[in-house]
Amino acid sequence: MKRLIVILPIFFNANVMANTPVSLSYEQATKLVKAAWKEPARSIDITYYLTVRDDTKPEQELRQIYEEAHEQMYGPKEQLNPYMLKNRERFVQMNVERFLKEQQEGGRKVKYGIRFDANRQRVDKVYASPEKVLDANTPFEMSFIEVTDQNNVSERYVYSRGGKTATRQIINRRAKFENSKIMSFMMMPEARRLRSQLGTCVNGSHAEPYDYYIDQIKYEKLCSNTLDSMSVRIQPDTDEPDANDRIELTFYNVEKEPYAKSIIVCARQDYSRVFYYDVRIAATDQIMLVRRCSNFDSQGFPHNVTIIEYDVEGKVQFQETYKIESVRLNIPLPDEVFEFAPPRDYAVIDFRLPPAEREAAEVMRLKEWLAHEVWTDRLRALVALKQYLRDDPVQLRNIATSMLDDKHPVVRKAASSILDHLGENK
């Protein structure tokens, strides 16, 4: 990320300021600009609990979401073998049914751990269930890691602890994990739009969201409230008039008609510490989104956040509640957090390899696991090999025959079943 470019003016054009009614004080305008151009944290290490109540997604849309999630973890559908294709369908159906049931019972509950810096991000998560209450001791079940090297090549690693699988692949673009929303909790809402209205692009490029510097003329118009594209009204908050300010922002199109409006209640000494924020339909003043933050720590990070989305009739459609357990900002993150190092007993799928090489490597790994001391792992390897070697009956028959003397009766029964199946197809 490029470094922030902000130039706060100290001197005003005396003629302009003397002839124009001042709507904002110099102090108010400076605090607004400072908050809009606040540099985001360079890194974050955070653990939190999220409850999601969502009435907006029909079942078909949910299916698409989980199909895309499976593709992120295990690659495109076209690259999957029949065994993985069956797992894909079970994965999608199970998650759709679980999500719908959770919504009926008050929302989906998830525990997240996020570690993020400029070129690396890791998201660990675990879902609540009737048998699993989320707390500080609940271990994570899924991990998503993305690392971008100096040549801008990104790799993604995914761990599934329940399924004991790990995948590795090259990706074209980084996923927008939860970190982007989490980082926004300590930033001024509407910051991006304020920068575009009050600043000038560096080198005329919009390549980076922070590539703006404050424009002196626009700054003076902000103070006099004579900007054609927006208006600002700042007054003491009605609930905390001695400590907080209420900022009303209205944005206009080229025909000077209002197209967006928002209200921000923030600390008077720091406009980036926002307690309340809403987005409204400018024409009707109907609130469409509300964000409430509280319990800020010394870093300026809130530990309680609620986001609510409404429909045009004011009915709640979507609600997220965040309870932050711990957060550290701008700290060095250990390299090993972002390394690909799955445990020995994990099935590793390397999507960087051509499909034939990838399948051969997995068959070799499964053969080794036929001798594992845990019988359930031997059984899982045998069942998987039945799928992988469907076009090689000779090798599959030899493997099944070798397992007829296994110590466990369930494994012997599975091997016998494979041989019976092969015999039926002779």
Q: DSSP per residue over 209-234, as a string?
A: TT-EEE-HHHHHHHHHT--SSEEEEE
Does residue 5 register a pLDDT over 60?
A: no
CA 121 and chain centroid, separation: 10
Most confident of 158-162, 246-250, 347-351: 246-250
Q: Return the structure tokens found at 335.
A: 């390299």
Model confidence at 15, in pLDDT bands (50, 70, 90)?
A: very low
Res 11: pLDDT: 38
Q: Return the structure tokens found at 87.
A: 């797992």
Res 204: pLDDT: 53
Alpha-helical segments (H) within 283-374? 355-369
What is the spatial distance between Cα 146 and Cα 141, in angstroms, rounded to a whole number? Answer: 17
Does residue 205 register a pLDDT over 70?
A: no
Res 59: pLDDT: 81
Share of the chain above pLDDT 90, in %: 45
Give the residue carrying structure tokens 């955070």: 46
Model confidence at 94, in pLDDT bands (50, 70, 90)?
A: confident
Q: Amino acid identity of 221?
A: K
Model confidence at 144, in pLDDT bands (50, 70, 90)?
A: very high
Model confidence at 91, in pLDDT bands (50, 70, 90)?
A: confident
The whole-model pTM stands at 0.76
Model confidence at 10, in pLDDT bands (50, 70, 90)?
A: very low
Res 203: pLDDT: 62
- Say if residues 8 and 214 touch (Cβ distance below 8 Å): yes
Calculate mean pLDDT across residues 199-215: 64
Query: DSSP character for 38?
Result: P
Query: DSSP character for 129?
Result: B
Q: Of residues 149 and 104, which shows the higher confidence score?
A: 149
Query: DSSP character for 77?
Result: G
Q: Of residues 75 and 113, which shows the higher confidence score?
A: 113
Does residue 210 register a pLDDT over 70?
A: no
Q: Is 157 exposed, middle or buried (0-12, 13-18, 19+ CB in 10 A)?
A: buried
Calculate mean pLDDT across residues 118-147: 90
DSSP states of 2-17: PPP------S--HHHH
What is the spatial distance between Cα 121 and Cα 44, in angstroms, rounded to a whole number? Answer: 9
Q: How far is CA 236 from CA 25, 87, 185, in A?
A: 13, 57, 22
Res 243: pLDDT: 96
Model confidence at 28, in pLDDT bands (50, 70, 90)?
A: very high
Does residue 257 register a pLDDT over 70?
A: yes
Most confident of 55-59, 76-80, 197-201, 375-379: 375-379
Pairing of strands 165-171, 347-350: parallel
Q: Return the structure tokens found at 267.
A: 């600390």
Res 344: pLDDT: 80
Model confidence at 88, in pLDDT bands (50, 70, 90)?
A: confident
Most confident of 95-109, 228-242, 372-386: 228-242
Q: Of residues 211 and 313, which shows the higher confidence score?
A: 313
Mark 315-337 as b/e (b = at least 16 C-beta within 10 Å).
Answer: eeebbbbbebeebebeeebeeee
Residues 6+ apart with CB under 8 A from 79: 351, 355
Q: Of residues 395 and 426, which shows the higher confidence score?
A: 395
Number of H helices and E strands in the chain, helices first, is 11, 16
Q: Collapsing DSSP states into helix, strand and coil, what is residue 79?
A: helix
Q: Collapsing DSSP states into helix, strand and coil, what is residue 237?
A: coil
Does residue 19 register a pLDDT over 60?
A: no
Model confidence at 202, in pLDDT bands (50, 70, 90)?
A: low
Calculate mean pLDDT across residues 293-320: 93
- Say if residues 293 and 300 touch (Cβ distance below 8 Å): no
Q: Return the structure tokens found at 148.
A: 């971008």
Question: Range with the lowest mean pLDDT among 199-203, 259-263, 393-397?
Answer: 199-203
Model confidence at 361, in pLDDT bands (50, 70, 90)?
A: confident
Phi-psi region of 7 (alpha: psi -120 to 50; beta: other; left: phi over 0): beta
Res 211: pLDDT: 60
Res 422: pLDDT: 85
What is the spatial distance between Cα 66 and Cα 82, in angstroms, rounded to a whole number? Answer: 19
Model confidence at 175, in pLDDT bands (50, 70, 90)?
A: low
Does residue 55 register a pLDDT over 80?
A: no
Does residue 178 register a pLDDT over 60?
A: no
Give the residue carrying structure tokens 């707390």: 135
251: part of which helix (H) or strand (E)?
A: strand 244-252
Nearest to 182 by CA among 1, 336, 326, 32: 326
Average pLDDT along the chain? 85
What is the spatial distance between Cα 421 and Cα 359, in angstroms, rounded to a whole number? Answer: 23
What is the spatial distance between Cα 388 and Cα 83, in angstroms, rounded to a whole number? Answer: 7
Calculate mean pLDDT across residues 282-292: 94
Pairing of strands 108-116, 347-350: unpaired
What is the spatial distance between Cα 144 and Cα 71, in angstroms, rounded to a whole number? Answer: 13
Model confidence at 426, in pLDDT bands (50, 70, 90)?
A: very low
Model confidence at 177, in pLDDT bands (50, 70, 90)?
A: low
